[in-house]
Amino acid sequence: MISNDIIGLVLVYGYIAILLIISERFLKKYPTFSRKFLHIMVGNVIFILPLFTSQFIITFLAAAPFIFLTFLMSPYSPIKLNDQISSSGHGLGLVYYSISWTILAFFFFNQPWIIAVGIVAMSYGDGMAALVGENFGKHKYKIFGDRKSFEGSIAMFLVLIAMLEIVLVYYNVSISTMAIIPVVALVATIFEGITPKGLDNITACFSAVGTYLLLTLIVF
């Protein structure tokens, strides 16, 4: 029903507006933490997804506009907003985040739990990896350019297992599917660890979704 889609849009934009206000007004003194707070908490849009019934609305009105909006907040924007929060990490990291969300929304609009698997890998998974790694990461490794930490990767793996369980319970997915969660979390963690330059918002997302889809086909 179109009314549900409208409610979904209002909730998505309202929720993200609240996060931006918190980040810009109350956490601005801590730009790195503020950016990760935004990065992680945006992932809670997964709990709004069931409201959407239209592929067009969830893709082109709920998700795609954020590609443009996050680009305007990036260091590459023609409009210099001097936004310390968005520029404190990889310049296009949030743009890649929005691109991934849009692609998932287009292809899996009628299977929102699959969208949620990808978003959780980007938000809680990748976000916690960076947050823990930057503050507690003492054992570093570097594979393709970016320095990551084992502490951050372990945090991502554990948090992602917990969040994927919450996602599947929330969407009432068969309990038997829970068995594949550690494998999905492990693959996403590996891809996050080896991917440089903010592209982990793409690789962690789609490696999680791809692994989930492959294992559900093979195992079930």
User: Which residues have C-beta within 8 Å of that of residue 30, sequence separation ≥ 6?
Assistant: none
Burial of residue 201 (CB within 10 Å: 0-12, 13-18, 19+) is: buried
Q: Average pLDDT, stretch 205-219?
A: 94
CA-to-CA separations, 57 to 1, 52, 95, 109, in angstroms, rounded: 11, 8, 19, 10
The residues pairing with 149 across neighbouring beta strands, listed in sequence order, are: 140
What are φ and ψ of residue 145, in 5° steps?
Answer: 120, -55
**Does the pLDDT at position 84 exceed 90?**
no
| Cβ atoms of residues 160 and 121 within 8 Å | yes
**Does the pLDDT at position 91 exceed 90?**
no
User: Which residues have C-beta within 8 Å of that of residue 34, sequence separation ≥ 6?
Assistant: 23, 24, 27, 28, 85, 88
Q: pLDDT averaged over the chain?
A: 90
The tens digit of pLDDT for each residue in 27-39 reads: 878 877 888 898 8
CB neighbour burial string for 95-116, b if at least 16 within 10 angstroms, e if fewer: bbbbbbbbbbbbebbeebbbbb
**Does the pLDDT at position 21 exceed 70?**
yes
pLDDT at residue 32 in the model: 77
CA-to-CA separations, 190 to 21, 125, 154, in angstroms, rounded: 33, 11, 10
Range list of H helices, 22-111: 31-41, 55-56, 65-72, 93-107
Q: Average pLDDT, stretch 39-52?
A: 95
As a whole number of angstroms, the distance between CA 65 and CA 134 comes to 30
Q: What angle do CA 89, 48, 218 make, to 5 degrees?
A: 85
**Does the pLDDT at position 76 exceed 90?**
no
**Does the pLDDT at position 85 exceed 70?**
no
